[in-house]
Amino acid sequence: MADPRIIKEKIFLVTIFALTILGILPVFHVLAEVIIKGSEAIAKHGLGILTSTSNGILASLVGSAILSILASLLGIPLAIAAGLFVAEFSDTKLAKITRVVSRSLLEVPTVLLGMLVYIIMVVPMGSFSLLAGAIALALVMLPYVMVHVEQAIESVPPIYREAGYSIGMTRAEVLLGVVAGIARRGIATGVLMGFAKAMGETAPLLFTIGAARTTLPCSHSIPLANVLDPGDAVPLMIFQYAQMPQKMYHDMAWAGSLILVAAFLAVFIAVRLLVKEVKT
């Protein structure tokens, strides 16, 4: 008769490995479905499904590109500066408060950030706009990028600070020229993660960009002013088309998902390469 302790151990090991497999299996299924259904949709309707505004998702693709870039332009400098502040002046009260607040922002449901921007921007301006969406997305990115910046700065060994100070550098020169320089790949990782986050978010856009799906945002003669136009985004398009009864809309949703997932995986691989380079 076998030792019951050993039997228990065997059952335990089998269970945790089974649960691990069960836990990571769904993501493969999600990816497989997206690739299969997305490419089926594109094969069935041709590339027009991506390049047309009337029978395709062009406006969503364009809108997503504008939104991710605009949100990054707004959110990343803010996040880096605030992250540097928190990491460098960590012994000050204000930095401590900022750190706690940024960690709390991380847990705020993103739909609420869309509601906030609706009240402070959409209502006063009287219209939905890509800019409003970008501001909501910038708020979503902000705490993510900040955490990465802080961790990157804090992981720089203090001997390099000492080296900077011992040749007469000021605190700003040490922080920006030495510490941030050494941490630059960590910071870049955070920036990319933030970008990916902005690209994939849906909820903050529900009440901010207006889902203008049949026209491109180009009503103004000055190109930059077009960010005040309503627009669309791939995630928002997927959310709304998925609820339509017609098959054509579902196809567009899957095609959009394929593009979205491909873009996300591209950023993910870029991050991996960055991190690998840091290690060597």
Partner 1 sequence: MSASKTMYRSDKLLYYSLLPFAAIVIAAFIMLFAILGYVSAPALRKYGISLFTTTKWAPNEANPSKSVYGLLAPLFGTLVSSAIAVLLALPVTVSIVLVIEEYSPERLRELIGSIIEVMAGLPTIVYGLWGLEVLAPFLREHVYSPLHQLLGFIPLFSCKPITGFNLATAGVLLSIMILPYMVAVARDAYRSIPFTYKEAALTIGATRYEYAKIMMGLAKPGIIAAALLGFGRAAGETVAVALVVGNVPLVSGCLFKPAYTISSLIANQFSMAPLYPYMMSVLFTGGLVLLLIGMAANTVAVIMIARARKRLG
Partner 2 sequence: MERDAVRTENLNVWIHGKHVLKNINFRAAVSAITVIMGPSGSGKSTLLRSINRLIEIVPGTKVEGKVYIFGRDIYSDDPYRVRRYVTMVSQTPNPFPHMSIYENVAIGPKLHRLVRSKEELDKIVRWALEKAMLWDEVKDRLNDPPTRLSGGQQQRLCLARALALKPRILLLDEPTANIDPVNARKIEEAIKMLVKEEGITVIFVTHTPAQAVRVADFIAFIYNGELVEYGPAREIALNPRHRLTEMYLRGEIG
Per CB under 8 A, 89 contacts partner 2: no
Per CB under 8 A, 165 contacts partner 2: yes
The entry of partner 2, partner 1, none that residue 162 binds, CB within 5 to 8 Å by partner kind: partner 2
Measured from the CB of residue 184, what is the shortest distance to partner 2 in angstroms? 7
Measured from the CB of residue 219, what is the shortest distance to partner 1 in angstroms? 22
Distance CA 228, CA 126 (A): 11
Per CB under 8 A, 10 contacts partner 2: no
Which 34-53 positions form the footprint of partner 1 (CB under 8 A)? 34, 37
Measured from the CB of residue 160, what is the shortest distance to partner 2 in angstroms? 6
If DSSP codes are grouped into helix, strand and coil, which group holds residue 222? coil
Q: Number of helices (H) and strands (E), helices first, in the chain?
A: 13, 0
Measured from the CB of residue 36, what is the shortest distance to partner 1 in angstroms? 11
Select the span of 71-79, 101-109, 167-175, 244-252 touching partner 2 (CB under 8 A): 167-175
The entry of partner 2, partner 1, none that residue 36 binds, CB within 5 to 8 Å by partner kind: none
* C-beta neighbour count of 105 within 10 angstroms: 15
Distance CA 132, CA 134 (A): 5
Per CB under 8 A, 33 contacts partner 2: no
Per CB under 8 A, 169 contacts partner 2: yes
Alpha carbon distances (Å) from 49 to 12, 65, 81, 259: 50, 17, 41, 12
DSSP states of 93-155 as a string? HHHHHHHHHHHHHHTS-HHHHHHHHIIIIIHHHTS--HHHHHHHHHHHHHHHHHHHHHHHHHT
Per CB under 8 A, 170 contacts partner 2: yes
Per CB under 8 A, 182 contacts partner 2: yes
- Which lies closer to partner 1 via its Cβ, residue 53 or residue 173? 173
Minimal CA–CA distance to 151: which of 180, 110, 176, 177? 180
Select the span of 20-28, 66-74, 161-169, 243-251 touching partner 2 (CB under 8 A): 161-169
Of the candidate residues 43, 47, 120, 125, the single one contacting partner 1 (CB under 8 A): 120
Burial 195-232 (b: 16+ CB within 10 A, else e): bbbbbbbbbbbbbbbbbbbeebbeeeeeeeebbbbbbb
214 CB-near residues (< 8 Å, 6+ apart):
53, 54, 59
Select the span of 42-50, 51-59, 112-120, 213-221 touching partner 1 (CB under 8 A): 112-120
Measured from the CB of residue 150, what is the shortest distance to partner 1 in angstroms? 12
Per CB under 8 A, 91 contacts partner 2: yes
* Positions that interact with partner 2 (CB under 8 A): 91, 157, 159-170, 173, 177-178, 181-182, 184
